[in-house]
Each structure stands twice: as structure tokens, then as C-alpha cells.
Amino acid sequence: MKKLNLISAPVGIALGLMAFPAIAMEGNIFYGLQLEQFEYRYGDEGEKSAVWDGDAFAGTDELKLRWQSNGEQDLREDSFETLENRLVLQTPISDFFDAKAGVRLDTPTGQDRWYGTVGIAGLAPQWFEVDADLFVSETGDGSARLDIEFEGLLTNHLILTPSLETDIAFSDDREIGIGQGVSKVELGLRLSYDLIDRAVSPYIGVAHERKLGKTADFARDEDEDRDATYVVIGMRLMY
């Protein structure tokens, strides 16, 4: 219940902004909602989880408020492996890149964390969609995340999307099981089909997660999995 409130707060703010277009300069206000990943994962060791990764935005060409949310719910234990919400302001800094800054709140099962965050998001040459973020947590630990995605058009409706997400910690945060160094890598390959224009695109794919270095050691100490491979089935949604 507490978590629901935490999620709904940013939505409320976003909706509030939309309801008062007068706040924002002269430009038109646009909004959008996208769930890049909304999937069921079945792991090689029988893991079953639900995963989402999406964002909603409202704003002008010059300034957008964006709410990013992702999480992984272990369906067997009914616990949240990860649960992140970010609220950032985003503004263009070049033809193809935006800068963003804001806050992030992690509320998985277990220890919560607040972060301050800055980052960039945009389109790199050769059509790589790139998100690069820096975080500083309430405990003073720094970390970074790089997220790269490529949409390969097999046809104009059938799209193969490889993705890579890497977390790097600049210091240990034992409490949440993070060790200094490259802490986590997630590789994905999803094959989607645009069923209802770009609004509904079901997909299947595979994902592989691996904890690395000290983080992996911490996981072993806690008797947790250090890596897992999943078959995923889901739907990309856009509105």
C-alpha cells in the first residue's frame, strides 16, 4: 500500500502539470506514456517474475517532467527484487540529447534508498538509444548506469531489440548488497510485433542478468542468485 502511494505521487504531479498548461511558457504541452518492457519472466531455475520498465512525461519541447519507473516482482515470493521510481526534469542540450536531473527512490522489499540523479538521454550515431545516469544516494554512495538499446527493423512491423544495461558502483553499500565496481549487467533481446500501430506490440525474448565483482560476492553471502537467464513474454505499450 505504501508503495502504491509512492508510485502515484509522481503521476499526480505529472497530471497536475498537464491540467495547468498556463504554467508552461507559450509552447504546447505534450504528454506520453510508454512501457518499454511489461513482461513475464520465466527463469532457467524456475524463477517467475513480473517486470516493467516505463516512463511517462508531460511538458514542452524545452522542458519536460518525466517519471521513470521500473521494477521486478518475484511472483513466487511476492517480493520486489527491485522497485525504482524517478522523477526528473529534462531539457535539450544538443540536437539529439537531453540532460535530465531529479530524484530517485528505490523501495524494493528490504532497504529503501533515496538518490539524487543527473544524466543524459538521447540518440547516438547509428541509432543507439542511450541513457546515462549518475546517482548519489542518501548514504553518500555514488553509482552510474548506462542503458543502450537498438531497434533493428526486420520488417516495418517486426522489430528485434537488443539491449544492454550496466550498473557501476563507486563505493560499497553493503546494506543494499552493492559492492564497488561493475555491479550488475543485464542483456536482453526482444522480438516485437507492432500489433495496433505502435500502441500495442507484443514480444518474446530472452534476458540475462548477472551480478558481478563484490556485488556478486555479497549475493553469494546472502545465498542469492548471482545470475539468471530468462525467457520473457510481454507487451510494449505506448500511449
Of 15, 111, 152, 196, the one binding other proteins by CB under 8 A: 152
Residues 181-220 that bind other proteins (CB under 8 A): 197-198
Residue 218's φ and ψ, nearest 5 degrees, are: -60, -40
Choose between 19 and 25: whose C-beta lies nearer to other proteins.
25
**Burial class (CB within 10 angstroms; exposed 0-12, middle 13-18, buried 19+) of 173:** buried
Q: How far is the CB of 69 from other proteins (least distance, A)?
A: 17
Length of the chain: 239
Choose between 28 and 111: whose C-beta lies nearer to other proteins.
28
Q: Is 21 in the site for other proteins (CB under 8 A)?
A: no
Q: Is 170 in the site for other proteins (CB under 8 A)?
A: no
For residue 162, what is its C-alpha cell?
537488443
Residue 199's φ and ψ, nearest 5 degrees, are: -80, -40
**Burial class (CB within 10 angstroms; exposed 0-12, middle 13-18, buried 19+) of 180:** middle
Binding window for other proteins (CB under 8 A); candidates: 20-28, 46-54, 112-120, 201-209: 20-28
Residues in contact with other proteins, total (CB under 8 A)?
Answer: 25
Of 31, 38, 52, 114, the one binding other proteins by CB under 8 A: 31
**Alpha-carbon 102 to chain mean position:** 14
For residue 140, what is its C-alpha cell?
553518500
Binding window for other proteins (CB under 8 A); candidates: 3-11, 112-120, 151-159, 217-225: 151-159
Q: Is 32 in the site for other proteins (CB under 8 A)?
A: yes
Q: How far is the CB of 224 from other proteins (least distance, A)?
A: 38
Residue 11's φ and ψ, nearest 5 degrees, are: -60, -45
Q: Is 61 in the site for other proteins (CB under 8 A)?
A: yes
